Amino acid sequence: MHRNTKQHWIFSTFFFLIFFGFGGFFPLLSVYFREEVGLTGTQIGTILSVGPIVMVFAQPVWGIICDYTQRSNQVLILTVAVTGLLGLGYLVLEEYVWLLVLAATLAAFQASVIPISDNIAINFVHRTGGDYGNLRLWGALGFAVAAFIMGELSDRFGLIVIFFGFAASLWLSAWVGLALPKERIAFDIDLRAGLRQLMKLPPFGLFLLATFLVFGPIHANNVYFGLLVQDLGGTLAGVGLGFLLAAGSEVPFMKFAGRWIRQRGLLTVTIFAAGVSGLRWLLYAWEPSLLLVYLSTIAQGMSVGLFIPAALEYVRTISPKEVQATAISLYAAMGVGLGNWFFSLVGGIILDRFDIFVTYLLFGVMTLVGVCILLGLRRMEKRLI
């Protein structure tokens, strides 16, 4: 086998196993907390929202460690293995405070996994040729397959299986990671200077706000979708099926996103993707049938599969070249970090006071506010042309 072909398969397997671990674990964790531990919606929201905010602060620390040691591969393997081990900690803890501490600790180690592996993969494809997207597609596939398999296994053997599946998958990925090529990567980002320069650009600040409102509910859905399916009468296997359809639908849309972006424009595609996402949350607020929920999961492919590449490219386009890395980091922190944290937390509080359907009503309304901001941005751009 050609060396590059072999290494492409190593990367693909690594991403598949990492996201297999994530996909079989996090979507069902909220169900475990409610059904097995007996936590309230507010407690569930707090525990599962602490991870994203911890990651915002932990990622730069891991970047500094990689820059200082120049041993990114070893750091990656260590943190993947420790993350898998910490996942087993949920089996022995039941008190809310200690579960909160464990979630924060797990997130601190998990924060290194995607940024470091992405940087290694991007450097590799730039050096040898290839398509980074084709490597990460295996991650989406792993997430989708895991959600379905672990949902089926949880129905048969109980939710305890998600912890063993998480640990085993991450330990396997750490073993595969030993064979990853050793790439010299850098995380040298001057956040202070970059932020000062970027905040002088009105479109950038508005787009960050829109990202917070649109991408936050998309990530918070991973926390509450399982509870939604159960409250509509679904089983754990049904939760897995929903995630399989949703995550699996992202792959074809990501494949064709580039063509649609070139034809329609960056903001038009992001507006469409965000609009589809907002309508999906409003549909869930109206207590639809399970069949309609499953059919609607293709909307995740349209929203996530189109929004991510279009939004990322828009951030790169409006940012000066010397601060593009900072711009992308802020974009990720706003959507995946702060947005995820806020909507996961507030969603749990609303779940306690009302029900899961009002939680999704919040997601829908806030997402459509984000769409209005994006429409305003497009109008602003047209005036400048």
| pLDDT above 50: residue 261 | yes
What is the domain class of 1-178 according to CATH?
Answer: mainly alpha
Question: Do the domains 191-385 and 1-178 match in fold?
Answer: yes
Closest to 268 measured CA to CA, from 170, 189, 379, 180: 379
The CA dihedral of 333, 336, 338, 341, to the nearest 10 degrees, is -150
The answer, yes or no, to whether residue 264 has pLDDT greater than 90, is no
Region 78-105 average pLDDT? 95
Reference 304, options 369, 234, 222; nearest CA is 222
Tokens standing for 366? 């806030």
Between 8 and 187, residue with greater pLDDT: 8
Specify the pLDDT at position 359: 96
Among the residue ranges 246-255, 267-276, 350-359, the one predicted with the least confidence is: 246-255
**Is the pLDDT at 384 greater than 90, yes or no?**
no
- Least confident interval from 119-128, 277-286, 336-345: 119-128
pLDDT computed for residue 195 by the predictor: 65
Give the domain ranges of the chain: 1-178, 191-385
Average pLDDT over residues 349-376: 95
pLDDT (0 to 100) of residue 1:
46
pLDDT at 189: 57
pLDDT at 279: 95
pTM: 0.84
Q: Is the dihedral of CA 138, 52, 278, 379 positive or negative?
A: negative
3-class secondary structure, 327: helix
Q: Is the dihedral of CA 156, 157, 161, 162 positive or negative?
A: positive
**Cβ atoms < 10 Å from Cβ of 52:** 25
Residue 188 is predicted with a pLDDT of 55
* pLDDT band (50, 70, 90) for residue 141: confident
**What is residue 190's predicted lDDT score, i.e. its pLDDT?**
57
pLDDT over 80 at 226, yes or no: yes
Mean pLDDT of 272-292: 94
pLDDT at 27 over 90: no
Q: How does the average pLDDT of the chain come out, rounded?
A: 86
Could you tell me what percent of the chain has a pLDDT over 70?
Answer: 91
Average pLDDT of 264-288?
Answer: 91
pLDDT by residue (tens digit) across 231-259?
999 888 888 888 888 888 877 777 776 77
Phi, psi (5° rounding) for residue 286? -95, 15
> What sign does the CA torsion over 375, 376, 382, 385 have?
negative
Q: Give the tens place of pLDDT for each residue, 305-323.
A: 788 778 877 887 877 776 6
Lowest mean pLDDT among 16-20, 92-96, 122-126, 359-363: 122-126
The pLDDT assigned to 133 comes to: 65
Higher pLDDT, residue 165 or 125: 165
Q: pLDDT tens digits for 156-201?
A: 999 999 999 999 999 999 999 998 887 666 555 555 666 677 777 7
Domain 191-385, CATH among 3.40.50.300, 3.10.20.30, 1.20.58.1290, 1.20.1250.20: 1.20.1250.20
> How many CB atoms are closer than 10 A to CB 230?
18
Residue 351, pLDDT score = 93
